[in-house]
Amino acid sequence: MGFVQPVDLERVMRPVHQAQGLANEFYVDPNLFEQEKSAVFFRNWTAIGFCKDVPEPGDAMPADLLGQPLLVVHGRDGIVRVFQNTCRHRGMILMEKKGRLRGAIRCPYHSWCYDHDGALKTTPHVGGPGKNIHEDIDRSTLGLFPIRCHVWRDILFVNLSGDAPEFDDYAADLKARWAEFDQPLHPGGDESAFRLELDTNWKLAVENYCESYHLPWVHPGLNSYSRLEDHYNIEQPGHFSGQGTRVYRPMINEGGAPFADFEGLGDKWQAGAEYVALYPNVLLGVHRDHAFAIILQPVTHEKTIEHVQLYYATGDTAVADRSDLRAANAELWKTVFAEDIFVVEGMQRGRHGAKFDGGRFSPIMDSATHLFHHWVASQFAASLQDKEPV
């Protein structure tokens, strides 16, 4: 196929009861995956990692977004910044591994040095041996390329194109919806972070996450108390979609002790929980006593890594006697997410079937998934027309 055509998008962007899903090529065509990088990921706010992985000033880590080498730096001034991980001199990768910067960022090739804010500090021997200046080398124009970034709920988002709306506008509706959860998040310990490597296109992980339709079939254990009729769709066209439940039950340990709840939550959250995909690549869950985030890292058109992190309302010290509960909670979610693997991988294999036409949605049960398809199609349409998403 090569490049997407407007006609392929129009049928996706019809109302859900008339729409077709995204065509096979959106999942199995490497050329379309290349097009997707700029159309979907680079022009929007895309998650690349968790700030808990650079907790202290001086902490730095490389990151990769679809082949774009990035460098995350927690500066001495406390600000987390993202740069292109490329020296302005000869294009060398600056940092290969996560580590603690004691001082400047030194390129390992010719030792050009950068400050934590990206400013070029010195250019050794640039004017000849022992002479670190030259009239044609203007350091003020040769700082590290900054990447527009924003941190929300410990998640580090970047906008490579630099022209997306402000993040607070981009995520305004979800921030408002979950305003009660706008309070400190404490990452659990090592047991609360894990990753799943999937042989599937990243979009199928989003689509499966958005809907509750599959729960009784794929997660019968969850369905024993959280039945289909206890769920509702969450739909915010152009931004996010997902599902919620009205019968969340907090976990307790053998002594009957629960996790601490987030403070000041309203009645809705006593038995309510919500699961939302913030487009393009973040899957979020909130409950009265814990939250989680999944960052989808598209590796190829048929490989995706899910980076999962669980959070609690109180820090390590306060929950030291809850480590068993945290481990059990992480195991529960690991089991649930693992139960989804066969469907997201199965749908990927199914999309190699040439006669599949994108599929028909349930007008009732698949509306959140369709919203995501509509958003993806809108991004391609906007990319084709070089205008705002319709």
CB of 69 to other proteins, least distance (A): 20
Q: Cα–Cα distance between 68 and 102 in angstroms, integer?
A: 26
CB of 77 to other proteins, least distance (A): 14
**DSSP notation for 67-115:** TEEEEEEE-TTS-EEEEESB-TTT--BS-SS-EE-SS-EE-TTT--EE-
339 near 196, Cβ under 8 Å?
A: no
Q: Cα–Cα distance between 248 and 153 in angstroms, integer?
A: 21
CB of 136 to other proteins, least distance (A): 13
Give yes or no for residue 364 binding other proteins (CB under 8 A): no
**Span interacting with other proteins, options 48-56, 125-133, 346-354, 363-371, rule CB under 8 A:** 125-133
How many residues bind other proteins, per CB under 8 A?
Answer: 17
**DSSP notation for 194-242:** EEEEESS-HHHHHHHHH-STTHHHH-HHHHTTS-GGGEEEEEETTTEEE
Q: Nearer Cβ to other proteins, position 30 or 103? A: 103
CB of 95 to other proteins, least distance (A): 12
Q: Which of residues 290-309 bind other proteins (CB under 8 A)?
A: none
Q: Nearer Cβ to other proteins, position 79 or 151? A: 79
Q: Nearer Cβ to other proteins, position 124 or 216? A: 124
The contact pattern for other proteins, residues 322-351, with x = CB under 8 A and - = no contact, is: ------------------------------
Q: Which of residues 65-124 bind other proteins (CB under 8 A)?
A: 101-104, 106, 111, 113, 121-122, 124
Q: Nearer Cβ to other proteins, position 79 or 338? A: 79
Q: Nearer Cβ to other proteins, position 120 or 205? A: 120
Strands 186-187 and 303-312: antiparallel
Q: Nearer Cβ to other proteins, position 103 or 146? A: 103
CB of 52 to other proteins, least distance (A): 24
Q: Nearer Cβ to other proteins, position 90 or 360? A: 90
CB of 230 to other proteins, least distance (A): 55
User: Using the rule CB under 8 A, which residue among 90, 125, 268, 349 binds other proteins?
Assistant: 125
37 near 46, Cβ under 8 Å?
A: no
Interhelix angle 367-385/202-210, rounded to 10 degrees, is: 140
Token digits of residue 215: 């729960």
In our burial notation (b when 16+ CB lie closer than 10 A, e otherwise), range 107-129 reads: beeeebbbbbebebeebeebeee
CA distances (Å), origin 50, targets 13, 28, 131, 185, 234: 33, 29, 41, 12, 25
Token digits of residue 186: 């404490």
Q: Nearer Cβ to other proteins, position 110 or 219? A: 110
CB of 101 to other proteins, least distance (A): 8
Q: How far is CA 198 from the centre of its chain?
A: 15
CB of 64 to other proteins, least distance (A): 24
The contact pattern for other proteins, residues 127-156, with x = CB under 8 A and - = no contact, is: --xxxxx-----x-----------------
**Closest Cα to residue 38, out of 10, 7, 65, 72?**
65
CB of 133 to other proteins, least distance (A): 5
Q: Cα–Cα distance between 41 and 44 in angstroms, integer?
A: 6
Q: Nearer Cβ to other proteins, position 106 or 290? A: 106
Which residues bind to other proteins, rule: CB under 8 A? 101-104, 106, 111, 113, 121-122, 124-125, 129-133, 139
